[in-house]
A and B are shown apart, each in its own frame.
Chain A
Amino acid sequence: MQGTFAHHLSEAAVSVELETEGMTLNIGPQHPSTHGVLRLVATVDGERATNVRPVIGYMHRGYEKLSEVRTYPQIITIINRIDWVSGFANEVPFVVAAERLMGVEAPPRAQWIRLVLTEMARISSHLVFMASYPLELGAATPLFFALRERERVLDLLESVTGGRFHPNFNRLGGVKPVYAAGPVTKKAGMDIPSGFLAETRDAMTKVLATCDEIENLVAGNEVFLARTKDVGIMPADIAASYGVSGPNLRASGVGFDLRKVSDYLPYGDFDFDVPVGRNGDCWDRWWVRLEEIRQSCRIITQAIDGLPSSPLQAKVPRIIKVPAGETYVRAENPKGEMGYHLVSMGGLGPYRLKIRSASFSNLSILPWILEEALVPDFIAIMGSLDFVLGDVDR
């Protein structure tokens, strides 16, 4: 018992310095701004995070495995559900990969239609970003501006493909002919709907006008600037080392765009710029996407002015078998680089299909970029990376 008092005294002296413990905050998988079912396990000290660990897999649907037991036309149906915000853009690199193994090339008109619809998917995906990002920062009104235009674009997509989100419009060797347009015959005359070109031209001017509106509403806003400028800075070398691609990489100052490099679609025939950011902060990522909408409008306008005439479908056998071989096709999707590594053993379906999805790699930088961030900045940074959980988990 001796010394207890002294012991207590010394303990009291020590406990003057309070021991504090970080609070573990589970953000998600059910949370308004994790874009679906992402879970972040964050250790926060007040409002500042000391450690953030993303937990993914809540939406794993096993598309890579499913592809091994599906035929090629069936796979097209499931892969446009990977990144559902831009369903059409997911289909293209896969069909191009299969076509390359088969030694078939889609006719020019089909390729141009693919290109137009891919750009429309890009516009609609970026418009979703334009809608959701200010909303996550608390401004509700830009949502309605952006979604109104997105609806216009989706209507166009629907008029051609019959689907708003999941077009399932690509075929090996071309695109699906549309009956709805003219007289229902099974011969020639099946093409894109008759009013499509004029409507598209009209819609593109409206989308461009809305881009100006959104810029006026959001970009000049002091509060928005305060929330995004110099927040979540991603240096180019770090971004590249994590495999970040697409608008996120370009916002960091790397002018890398697969549309300029790869030839999966005839982008070489078009005149467009690749917008590049300077600081790699949230503001740049927002700005790059707004510019990309404008560039996509430019591409679409050029494409519908010079749409070549040819059949929509190349000659392919009735039952499609892809010769044995291996190929990798990568494409510039709205979220970033999307690649399909297709291995065929000559059967009705692929032997193995590896999907490299953009959001998965873009999300991998989260622990780095969210370290020492404030909780409100979590939202600003995650939103600016613009990932879709379906694209992360596949």
Chain B
Amino acid sequence: MSLELTFWWLLAIKLAVAAAVVPVIGMVIGYAEMKLSAHMQSRVGPYFAGGRFGWAQLIADGVKFIQKEDIIPEEADRPVFKWAPALVMLGTMALLVIVPVHPSPRYGIVRDLEVGIFYALAISSVSTIGVLMAGWSSANKYSMIGGLRAAGQLIAYELPLVLATVGVVIQAGTMSMQGIVSAQVAQGWPFLLTQFIGFAIFMIATLAELTRLPFDMPIAESELVMGYVTEYSGFRFLFFFLAEFANMFSMSVIAATLFLGGYGLWGINPETLFSPIILFAKVGILIFLMIWLRWTLPRLREDQLQTLAWKWLIPIAIVNIIATAVLKVVL
């Protein structure tokens, strides 16, 4: 019997790894968020829980959530209510399939699609449906407003997100994620240097997609109680949070791949096993940025959010595309 793994076995293992990464990363980022917010705000728990480093805080929180009763409101649309958190999580998991962590075509990526970015942007909208389902099925006015706000926000910010990546695609000449990374590795510098406008727009739109501060109107504790998750409790509630953290990871991975050169770093041979570490380090920086912003900024108002997207980000992104295209032809 040959030791070579068949195509399907390999695919199954890679998918299992990608699926296992999501909750683990979710917990790691959850812990990071706790620790960072504790350092920014002198919160006590994450310093001392469990003795050192506050390691027990995350476990305590997890146990707390699991202990709680899983309440489903009487008026709720039960199946929709139950499946919404899973769907939110699904969009995140499906996103990791096209992330290259190593140049090896066989082991470095689950599936290198020719239309990689296109797939990423399309599949990241699946979680929107989950949010809408949660908002609608809860039979609660606050949830409803939260779900509708989320839908409006995600429609508005999907556009700048797509437009911001077009510049990269033009420069790389391919939509394949592996191709974009190898283009950056080949030229020796990341696209950030030329596509910095695209990067800024992408990060802002990402924050809005993730519904994190300053764009967390769909949740907005002080206005909508807890937005679309108002009626959720226990493990389902936790699911939304894990999905948010995992989503932070997958969006950061895509940003790192498109703009920061993915696993490539100047002077280091990408064929080594350092590649995944380099990629994760870049992702870590982006996630730190997101957490930092979250604990610093207040939230915008719904109309200000729409103004920002339609009147500023989208025109700037279009100008960026035109400039990139013209320069690509001229140079």
With A32-B222, A376-B220 as known contacts, state yes or no: A137 contacts B299, CB within 8 Å: yes
With A223-B214, A375-B145 as known contacts, state yes or no: A140 contacts B301, CB within 8 Å: no
Cβ-defined contact, A376 with B223, below 8 A: yes
Contact of A223 among B225, B300, B302 (CB under 8 A): B300
Residues in B with CB closer than 8 Å to A47 are 145, 302-303
For B37, give the chain A residue with the smallest CB separation.
A140
Residues in A with CB closer than 8 Å to B223 are 33, 375-376, 378-379
Give B198 Cβ to nearest chain A Cβ, in Å.
22
Is A260 an interface position by the 8 A CB rule?
Answer: no
For B42, give the chain A residue with the smallest CB separation.
A144
Is A31 an interface position by the 8 A CB rule?
Answer: yes
Give A133 Cβ to nearest chain B Cβ, in Å.
10
Cβ-defined contact, B301 with A25, below 8 A: no
Is A275 an interface position by the 8 A CB rule?
Answer: no
For A140, give the chain B residue with the smallest CB separation.
B295
- From DSSP, what is the main secondary structure of chain B's interface residues? loop
From B43, B217, B220, B298, residue with most partner A Cβ within 10 Å: B298
Residues in A with CB closer than 8 Å to B299 are 137-139, 223, 227
For B296, give the chain A residue with the smallest CB separation.
A141
Give B73 Cβ to nearest chain A Cβ, in Å.
16
CA distance A378 to B303 in the complex (A): 14
Cβ-defined contact, B298 with A224, below 8 A: yes
Residues in B with CB closer than 8 Å to A33 are 222-223
Cβ-defined contact, A136 with B222, below 8 A: yes
User: How does the 8 Å CB contact mask read for B64-100 relative to A, with 1 for contact and 0 for none?
Assistant: 0000000000000000000000000000000000000
CA distance A226 to B225 in the complex (A): 22
CA distance A143 to B304 in the complex (A): 24
Is B216 an interface position by the 8 A CB rule?
Answer: yes
- Interface range for B: 20 to 34
- Interface range for A: 20 to 34
Residues in A with CB closer than 8 Å to B40 are 141
Residues in B with CB closer than 8 Å to A376 are 217, 220, 223, 301-302
Give B296 Cβ to nearest chain A Cβ, in Å.
6
Q: Give the residues from 206 to 231 in chain B that come closer than 8 angstroms, CB to CB, to chain A.
A: 213-214, 216-217, 220-223, 225
User: How does the 8 Å CB contact mask read for B265-307 relative to A, with 1 for contact and 0 for none?
Assistant: 0000000000000000000000000000001111111111000
22 contacts between A and B (CB under 8 A): A23-B141, A33-B222, A47-B145, A136-B222, A138-B214, A138-B216, A138-B222, A140-B41, A140-B295, A141-B40, A144-B43, A148-B42, A221-B296, A221-B297, A223-B297, A374-B302, A374-B303, A376-B217, A376-B220, A376-B223, A376-B302, A379-B223
Please provide the 3 A-B residue pairs with the shortest distance between their CB atoms, ordered closest to farther. Answer: A138-B299, A137-B298, A139-B298
Residues of chain A at the chain B interface (Cβ within 8 Å): 23, 25, 31-33, 47, 134-141, 143-144, 148, 217, 221, 223-224, 226-227, 374-379
Known: A221-B298, A227-B299. 11 other contacts (CB 8 A): A32-B222, A33-B223, A47-B302, A138-B213, A138-B222, A139-B213, A139-B298, A141-B296, A144-B42, A223-B298, A374-B303
